[in-house]
Amino acid sequence: MSRPPDLSRPPQPASAPWHAITLWVAALLTFTTPGAPLRGADGAAPASPSAAENPFLRESTLPLQYPPFDQIRNEHFIPALELGMAEQLKEIEAIANNPEPPTFENTVVTYERSGRLLGRANRTFSSLTGAHSNEALRAIEKVMSPKLAAQGDAIRLNGPLFARLENLYQRRDQLGLDAESKRLLERLYKDFVRSGAKLSEADKARHTALNREIAVLQTRFNQNVQQESNASAVVVTNRADLAGMSARAIAIAQAAAKSDHEDGKFVLRLLNTSGQPSLVSLENRAIRERVQKMSVHRNRQGGEFDNRAIVARLARLRAERAGLLGYPNHAAYILEDQTAGTPARVNELLAKLAGPAVANARREAADMQAIIDQEKGGFPLAPWDWDFYAEKVRRARYDFDDAALKPYHELDHVLFDGLFYAATRLYGITFKERHDLPVYEPTVRVFDIFDANGSQLAIFLEDFYARPSKRGGAWANAYVSQSGLLGTRPVIANHHNIARPPDGEATLLTRREAETLFHEFGHALHAMFSNVKYPRFSGTAVPRDFVEFPSQVNEMWAIWPEVLRNYAKHYQTGEPIPTALLDKVIAAEDFNAGFKTTEYLAASLIDQAWHQLKPDDVPGADGVDAFEAAALRTAGLDFAPVPPRYHSTYFLHAFSGEYSAGYYSYIWAEVLDADTVEWFKEHGGLTRANGDYFRQTLLSRGGSEEALTLFRNFAGRDPYVEPLLKRRGLETPR
């Protein structure tokens, strides 16, 4: 089950009878799972449930249609997804074959109402495969991903349906539509065209085949990354080799070893980034080297989780699909629908930042090398040394250790007195934790969120802790999205990968983990404040290079002095963070900016390099590493002590389907973010007036207007790039 597909030919699952595939998965479920509900982690009963027993076949009766996790079992997904697909296709056929002339109501609005069962089941399924997967769910995902891709093609390549949309699109100015309805018609028409609606029948068939294979490979890539990360933890035998790590961090490593049946040892689990938290404190250079090399060599050393063949095949298939649709490459196809517009504009931005960023990183490296030489280390700075010696530079320059912050970053203090406090001050919303709703994993926490007028705004789930069943990184997702048309209010989740402390001990966060809580809650606010009519525009349904803007803006409150003073309290004594330490934290905010910008730009460049290729220019599996190295060298981003934030083989943003040709979005959105931070500073900061204005003009509008129009509505002008350059220390290549 865990071996990569044969990439010498397209995968074959679609050629097998669907009922036979279902029986195969059912057999796996019977063999591998004990029949517990999902919150028990593995559960799946072997028998197929009746319609009355399957919770997806009816709307949840829990508040805001919150998913009934205690009733959901693995074997519910295939029947619900199958029936949901069949129902949606029946609904689509009814629209396409309607004998009445097309109207906005009988075509567009009816289309927006379709697929409720499928959406309900698939949103929960896709969330759980990321947040709390198991062998059975992974098997279902492999089967369902090409089927779901084919479902999308069956709808968007439906000729009669597109003919009705095109008829309405050509008459859009004569239909008397309000602004949101007119935009919906225009966006749906564009969605269909970009999905191949105008292709010949032969090209439609090829397009469908490409989408099916791409879906299979993206699923395999994603699963390989998660499984390799679990398998690649660094096992340390002697406690002395962990010198420099805090007692709490060592206890966490010891607990991880026990859970992996490595009693008496210590396990350092890997995050899905090139850098690893333990590199900051580990004094043993050989152990640091082991950790860093284990991290950057993931999924490219042979064996069942090697992703090099998948990377090459995905890049080629995406390039072929783009050509079929009339685009020079996959990046051009993706970027046409983003605020950036073209690969040339993205390339220009990355090139503008690359030189100054690497120059800054080299100056930072020189400061670290000076300490190594002063200590008579006798070695040149290597990637596994950077974090360790950067911390020494920080302590020397700002007279504080980053580890000194952790006692003041206890999880509940950050959550209630930081995250929620800032949101209440800005937007007037309030929070109440509830314990009566079921969850899929015992540590997940649930909150009611109330608007300033006391009405319920949303339900919010926080899933804090890392575990083997969870993919790496941090993200937000919606179980239920807001829609005036459907009468739904949001149920939103944030996911993190914070190391869980031993039972009974407090969860202490790094500064970056605290900032990530604010970042992901920015996505949640964007979704929860949505006030649109149509599902197509709900919440974060905006261009990819705009979706990170509100979340990055929300990060500002993590270090806003008033907020920081409110939550930064010692977890044992309750004493507030000393003013002197707080001042140092704020002064050091831009520290190590060269490293952070360079590692990010390197990953963005890798993403663009793969996706600006034509099919015949894509290297094979054996050429993946060389291609990546050459791309970095050409861009001037091949500074050895600073590896890319992600190498290709574990680059989920680029190859699992989420952000292909779109990783640049974070720096693109940061232009808007840095400008907006300056706006808040100029207008009084943390005030209800500012929060309500930001909510009204931008956060509540979803995708109902053009993204840059929303920014202009908020700021009254086009964005300035200067605040970003100042923040990153890139104003001039000093």
- The reported pLDDT for the residue numbered 732 is 53
Q: Which of 16, 606, 101 is nearest to 350 (CA)?
A: 606
The mean pLDDT value of the chain amounts to 91
pLDDT beyond 50 at 428: yes
pLDDT tens readout for residues 366-395 = 999 999 999 999 999 999 999 999 999 999
- The reported pLDDT for the residue numbered 583 is 86
Longest dimension (CA), the chain: 84
Domain with CATH 1.10.1370.40 in the chain: 13-198, 407-587
C-alpha distance across the termini of the chain, in Å: 53
pLDDT tens readout for residues 195-215 = 999 999 999 999 999 999 999
- Band of the pLDDT at 585, cuts 50, 70, 90? confident
Between 520 and 585, name the one with better pLDDT: 520
- The reported pLDDT for the residue numbered 726 is 83
User: 13-198 adopts what CATH topology?
Assistant: Neurolysin; domain 3 (1.10.1370)
CATH 1.10.1370.10 is held by the domain 308-399+591-728 = yes
Span 569-580, average pLDDT: 93
pLDDT beyond 80 at 40: no
- Band of the pLDDT at 584, cuts 50, 70, 90? confident
HEC secondary structure over 598-659: HHHHHHHHHHHHHHCCCHHHCCCHHHHHHHHHHHHHHHCCCCCCCCCCCCHHHCHHHHCCCC
pLDDT beyond 50 at 7: no
Q: Which of 536, 451, 440 is nearest to 113 (CA)?
A: 536
Q: How far apart are CA 55 and CA 62, in angstroms?
A: 11
- Band of the pLDDT at 52, cuts 50, 70, 90? low
pLDDT beyond 60 at 336: yes
- The reported pLDDT for the residue numbered 50 is 59
Span 453-477, average pLDDT: 95
- The reported pLDDT for the residue numbered 62 is 98
* Low-confidence winner among 3-12, 315-324, 455-464, 632-641 (lowest mean pLDDT): 3-12
Sign of CA dihedral 606, 611, 617, 623: positive
- The reported pLDDT for the residue numbered 35 is 33
- The reported pLDDT for the residue numbered 393 is 95
Span 109-136, average pLDDT: 97
* Low-confidence winner among 41-45, 461-465, 718-722 (lowest mean pLDDT): 41-45
Write out the catalytic residue numbers. 520
What architecture does CATH give domain 407-587?
Orthogonal Bundle (1.10)
C-beta of residue 405 within 8 angstroms of C-beta of residue 607: no
pLDDT tens readout for residues 71-104 = 999 999 999 999 999 999 999 999 999 999 999 9
- The reported pLDDT for the residue numbered 6 is 31
pLDDT tens readout for residues 229-251 = 888 889 999 999 999 999 989 99
Q: How far apart are CA 153 and CA 208, in angstroms?
A: 6
pLDDT tens readout for residues 645-701 = 999 999 999 999 778 999 999 999 999 999 999 999 999 999 999 999 999 999 999
The pairing of beta strand 491-498 with beta strand 456-465: parallel
pLDDT beyond 90 at 528: yes
Span 176-198, average pLDDT: 97
pLDDT beyond 60 at 42: no
Q: How far apart are CA 118 and CA 56, in angstroms?
A: 9
- The reported pLDDT for the residue numbered 23 is 37
Q: How far apart are CA 241 and CA 227, in angstroms?
A: 26
Sign of CA dihedral 643, 645, 649, 655: negative
- Band of the pLDDT at 731, cuts 50, 70, 90? low
pLDDT beyond 70 at 119: yes
Domain with CATH 1.10.1370.10 in the chain: 308-399+591-728
pTM of this structure: 0.87
